[in-house]
Amino acid sequence: MNDELKRLKELLEAYMAGTLPGEGPEESRTLFEAIRYTLDAPGKRIRPVLLLLACKAVHGNDEEALPYACAIEFIHNYSLIHDDLPAMDNDDMRRGKLTNHKVFGEAMAILAGDGLLSAAFEMMHIDYLKHINDNDALVKRIKAGAAISAGCGTDGMVSGQAADIEAEGQNDNAELLDYIHLNKTAALIQAAVMAGAHIGGASGETLMALSEYGKNIGLAFQIKDDIIDYGSEEGKASYPDIHGLGVSCDHLEGLTERAVTAVNGAEGTNAFYINILNELAVSLAQRAE
């Protein structure tokens, strides 16, 4: 598993290096520095790697999926910049470095996030145009873009973030917390898996199986974050606060098992990549940070 994950991550990093903005015009040079500051920070690249794995799992071409993998990483990083802002979570550190607004100021950090979000959609639309005369290829890409759009928008990540802000101080509302986890975190992870599956040409029950996998590991990912951070965040609702640590660990295990079960033996899939997806689900549930 590790060799293939390393290969896909290196493939992504090489592609991203070619898409990162240069210095830009002198008048807006600080904006480009702020964008690169966050993108260059060490990260797991979980969402784009999941996208590439899902594409390969349905016998797709990972090179064709790269613009969408890169786009979803841009979107994820924009969300981190905005999430750290004083008006949101007001964090000073991210990935062992000062957060973007602490280095470049709030206004420039907001614009850096805006720039990443815009660049993500520009990247996908450029890829659409490259396949404008190939209907089958174009349809796959539009479906992938639609999945990513839904995952990061007002029916997904943004809605979850809004609910998270509204929920501050409400540490006993299990239904609201489920909504936040499903939208703020799981929606974009599920979108990554769905986008990769669309690029690979998945449909029907295979597509539904991968969607179920993405939803379950997305929820598991956030619950694991809650377990890791248990007791360290004031005022933020978390799964262990409401359900207790033991129940949280049991639910994490159950979600991981459901993710694995969803794709095992899925029709028309590559067993090698399904196995990697399943091993990745388990390793994310067992991570220490």
| Six token digits for residue 8 | 């896909």
End-to-end Cα spacing for the chain: 20
Mean pLDDT of the 188-214 span = 98
Say how far apart CA 211 and CA 219 lie, in whole Å.
12
pLDDT at 208: 98
Longest CA–CA span in the chain (Å) reads 55
Domains present along the chain, CATH in parentheses: 2-286 (1.10.600.10)
pLDDT at 81: 98
Q: Give how far Cα 213 sits from Cα of 2, 190, 210, 281, Å.
A: 20, 8, 5, 9
pLDDT band at 126 (very low <50, low <70, confident <90, very high): very high
Mean pLDDT over the full length of the chain: 94
Among 34-48, 63-77, 167-181, the least confident range: 167-181
Mean pLDDT of the 150-176 span = 90
| Six token digits for residue 21 | 């903005």
pLDDT at 221: 97
* Residue from 155, 254, 189, 185 nearest 45 by CA: 189
How many percent of the chain have pLDDT more than 90?
83
Among 136-150, 170-184, 260-274, the least confident range: 170-184
Predicted confidence (pLDDT) per residue in 111-122, tens digit: 999 999 999 999
Half-sphere exposure of 23 (CA within 13 A, CB side): 3
pLDDT band at 173 (very low <50, low <70, confident <90, very high): confident
pLDDT at 238: 87
Please tell me which residue, 231 or 279, carries the higher pLDDT value.
279
pLDDT at 23: 63
| Six token digits for residue 282 | 């388990």
pLDDT at 233: 63
CA dihedral 173, 178, 180, 183 (to 10 degrees): -160
pLDDT band at 211 (very low <50, low <70, confident <90, very high): very high
Mean pLDDT of the 169-177 span = 85
Mean pLDDT of the 35-40 span = 93
For residue 174, pLDDT beyond 70: yes
pLDDT at 144: 98
Neighbours of 134 (CB within 10 A): 11
Token pair 């199986």 in the structure block, residue: 209
For residue 63, pLDDT beyond 80: yes
Predicted confidence (pLDDT) per residue in 64-97, tens digit: 999 999 999 999 999 999 999 999 999 999 988 9
Please tell me which residue, 14 or 289, carries the higher pLDDT value.
14
Predicted confidence (pLDDT) per residue in 235-277, tens digit: 677 899 899 999 999 999 999 999 999 999 999 999 999 999 9
For residue 21, pLDDT beyond 70: no
pLDDT at 139: 98
